Amino acid sequence: MSRKLYIKTFGCQMNERDSEVIAQLLAQEGFATTSVQEEADLILVNTCSIREKAEQKAFSLIGSLREEKKKNPSLVVGVIGCVAQQEGEHLRSRMPHVDLIVGTQQIYRLPAMLDRLLSGMTQKEIATNMESSFSIPPFQKLLVNNEKTAITPGFKQFVTIMQGCDNFCSYCVVPTTRGREISRSVRDILEEVELLVEQGVREITLLGQNVNSYGATNTVDPRPVSFPQLLRKVSAVQGLQRLRFTTSHPKDLSEELMQCFAELENLCPHFHLPVQSGSDKILQRMNRKYTVESYLQKVARLRQYRPDIALATDVIVGFPGETDVDFAATMRLLQEVRFHGSFSFKYSDRPHTRSTSFTDKIPEEIKSKRLATFQKEQNKISLQRNREYLEKTVEIMIESILDGEIKGRTATNHMVHAAGNVDSLLPGDLALVIIEHAGNHSLKGRLSE
């Protein structure tokens, strides 16, 4: 009988991809994934520390597993990801019921660590060291979909193209928790994409903390390839229907990359371009290395190349030193760009970041008020943007089918619910939908005949 693995993932798409890799690795060791925590022989909490709230949620879950461990002493509890990287030995002393602590670069060592633990060779395992020569192993070594594992990819998949970040924004933990930028080889990326497409994957999302700088720093390729060049190579893989990427830094957004939106047929017209603030003063304190003017110029160029592009962003409100004037500038930028959607957060101090030492912190009640103001306006704009699709026919890639209704995404990343004759449809299929209703966060319609 196979043992059961439960993974709870917090945070970004990088963490989601890491969890997929871990499930693939441990399937070879006889672990079948389960969605029921109580069934598990091994529980892994994949943690995020980019926001305080995500870190608190992770610690709450890890703490609750203490009682699970008491009830079932053979249960193995592991903490992986950014909090594991950040806390290291401190986590072991704070949470003595945790058996495994694995940092972001060390997840590929999990099978060996687990083997030592289960065989009784060790009582605790910890690996959080950062390696300057670290490289992501080729996908083929994970032995996906071979005789040793039943795991097969779905119709869409993340592909990691790089790890780490060299930007050192004053509020961000990524250079500490993920390390410096390291780009994977073009050959490994293309082989992974080709293998996934052969197995039925139709949509690929390329992942990196700053994909725009792919190939510009630490890379194993003797002749570095830029990110736009990589996009063109991946786009040309036969059978790939949709291509996406995330995340981009505005300072590295090149004209060549913008041109790709006009020239690559399967590159989805959806772009997540974090702005963080509409104030040049705050952007400078954040160490973002661009101005509001340069950001707006790039937005204008993107829309020239691809008029139907849907833009999303990230915004931090209440950054230290943010005045009412600075926040008003952020609101003006929101109203000028009219993002289709955004992720907005209140600033919070994060460990080992420069902004933690800034003394002019904003009171919590002011941050909360500003966040509510921003999100109210964004919801209003999102609804107006979504209404632009009314009575139009859009193509969606189906994600699920339930009770005669399909749910899927447009190339612009809008979620669509639709009714109609679904008998011949499957997840991963493309379908045309006539939009009849627009909400803040999704669209509704009927299948086109």
Q: Is 172 annotated as a binding residue?
A: yes
**Exposed e or buried b for every residue in 55-80, given b needs 16+ CB within 10 A?**
bebbbebbeebeeebeeeeebbbbbb
Pairing state between β 270-272 and 341-346: unpaired
Residue indicated by tokens 């999704």? 442
Alpha-carbon torsion, ordered 146, 32, 240, 197, to 10 deg: 0
What are 8's strand-pairing partners? Answer: 45
DSSP 8-state symbol, 51: S
d(CA 399, CA 43): 27
Q: Is 169 annotated as a binding residue?
A: yes
Q: Is 268 annotated as a binding residue?
A: no
**Structure token pair of residue 385:** 């943007």
**What spatial distance separates the first Cα and last Cα of the chain, rounded to whole Å?**
48
Residue indicated by tokens 């032995």? 143
d(CA 331, CA 374): 7
Q: Is 48 annotated as a binding residue?
A: yes
Q: Is 165 annotated as a binding residue?
A: yes
d(CA 428, CA 406): 11
The gap from C-alpha 96 to its chain's centroid, in whole angstroms, comes to: 30
**Structure token pair of residue 142:** 């994970």
Which residues sit in the known binding site? 12, 48, 82, 165, 169, 172
Which residues sit in the known binding site for [4Fe-4S] cluster? 12, 48, 82, 165, 169, 172
